[in-house]
Every structure is written in structure tokens, then in C-alpha cells.
Amino acid sequence: MTDLIRSSIVMTAVLAVVSIAHAAEKYPMRPVRVIVPYPPGGGSDLTGRAIGQKLSDALGQTFVVDNRPGATGLIGTVIAAKATPDGHTLILADQPHSINSLVYSKPPYDAVKDFAPLNLVATSPQIMAAHPSFSLSTLKELLAQTPAQTAKFAVGTSGLASGPHMTYEWLRLKTGLTLNHVPYKGGGPSLVDAMAGQIPLVINAAPASFPHVRAGKLKALAITSAQRHALLPNVPTFQEQGVKDFIAYQWYGMLAPAGTPREVVTLLNSEINKALNSADIKARFTAVTLDITPGSPEDFRKFLETEDARWRGVVKQVNVRLD
């Protein structure tokens, strides 16, 4: 390589860094794309739009939600990972963000290394629920049944390698409970079939399950939170029913591509925290069992590392693969 070519490469790299740094000083300079890797109307979409509107109001540029559904969030996440790291492309990620990077033989992204964490926005537990006619009323009663009996019980989840599916597999590893797993194409259809009595059991995130439990269309057997949830005080946790250290959350968090300037990360973290502490966001999220989680980018990175370690261990033991 000649000195001229080497100098040209170095100069190009320097100019790119200077360009991004200059952009950070005036951020945001144009509308910001917030990728939601799911169709409109779901929990990620509603959360992304709520935070995006707050950021639009605070920073004077429109934060536009861009729904990019497909492959349980994989398609939109890959787009975000490859975007220019200048803060003008963000992603509202959730639990499959961590799981997807573990269930492919050649994962298209690293859930931790390829992203700059901004904020863990909110978490919510998962609920194991049953049709009201189901003969058992608690997880403890279910665990007391023989394997021959439980193998007859179908449990619906939102799909292979989804958060609820991995929660079931983790439960099976910890307790030996073996059910007939039925993966659906989304959490909605699994809840519909459970309420109709087509399947006796279902595992789903609390925001989706809670309205049906409250209406008496489903009965909750257990919840994956560390303590009983304020909106479901009569539902015992998995830990209360003998499953030690069994805590799992559906979560929503805002990420940027790795390499996004620190100044941009700091600004977005500050504004998202302000949004999460606003009265209207607190009220809106709390009403659907979402617990807000203001904090630092470092807090979110540690959370992602913990998620990666937990589900990596489960995937390795049960060998869940999507390719």
C-alpha cells in the first residue's frame, strides 16, 4: 500500500469521525427514525410512539415510528444495527432482541456489541394463565401433577423462540414440568384460543394478558415478577410457588447503533428519563402493567448482558434453533 493511499484512507476515516462529531453538536438536525420491529398496534409500537412523541416535543424534530415487522423482530433489528451511527436511527427493542441473536447458527447481529444502549424504558412480567374451566388454579397444583398428566396439557406461546416460549423452556429446565408446547404466530392468537378453551394454558406478557384476567376470561396461575404485581395482588409469583429465582420480564428499551456519539447518547438518555417521569407516561404505562425504568445507558447495558447470559444458557440446554 502506497503512502498516498494510506494517507487517503486515514483522512477519510478522520473526516467521517469529524462529521459525526459535528452532527452531535447540532443533534437532531432532521427527523429521527424510530424503528419498531413489529406491526402497528402492539406493545412495542405503542411504547415507541409514546416515547417518540415526548422526544419530538422536547427536541424540536419529529421522531417518526417506522414499523419493520418480520421474523420476531429480526428484520427491523438488523436494519437498525447497520444504520449510520449518528442518532438519527433508533430502535425500540424488546425481549426477542436478546433471544434472536442466540437462536441462529450465524446470528446477523450481537445484541450487546452492535448497539449503544440509551434507556431501558419499561418492564412487565409474564403470566401463565388458564381457561376458567381448567381444573387447576395455581402453578403449585400443576407442578404436583405427574408427567403423564401434564404432557396432555397444551400451553400456547407467541411462537418458537419468543419470550413466552423461552420462559416455558426455562421453567421446564428448572422444574421438570413438561407440557405440550403449541407455538402460535403471535401472542394474540394464543390468548384467543385459550379464552375459547381450545388450549387449556397460555404464557404471555402481562400487558396482553391482564385485561382478560381482569375480565374473568382467563385465570392467572402465576406471574414471573419478583413480587406480586400491584394490579394483580391475588396472583402468586413463580417463586412463591417453589420455583427459586424464577424472574423474567418482557421489556422495552431504546437503542442506537454502536458508535453513536456519546453526546447524542447522553442527550437522549436525559430526555427519555424526563419522559418516563412525566405524569401522563406514568399513568399510561402503569394502567397496562408496564413498570417504568428510568436509568443510565450503563444500567441498560448491564441489563442486556444479564438477559444475554440467562437466555444463552437456556438456548444451549434446549437447543432452540430457527435455521
Residue ranges of domains in the chain, CATH in brackets: 3-123+250-318 (3.40.190.150), 125-241 (3.40.190.10)
The helix/strand/coil state of 311 is helix
Amino acid occupying residue 170: W
pTM of the model: 0.85
| 87 secondary structure, DSSP code | S
Cell of 1: 500500500
Mean pLDDT of 209-230: 96
Question: Where does the pLDDT of residue 22 fall: very low under 50, low under 70, confident under 90, or very high at 90 and above?
Answer: low
pLDDT of 99 above 60: yes
Exposed / middle / buried, residue 16 (Cβ in 10 Å: 0-12, 13-18, 19+): exposed
What does the pLDDT read at residue 17? 46
Answer yes or no: are the C-beta atoms of 307 and 98 closer than 8 Å.
Answer: yes
**Better-predicted residue by pLDDT, 105 or 120:** 120
Residues 6+ apart with CB under 8 A from 178: 147, 150, 151, 172
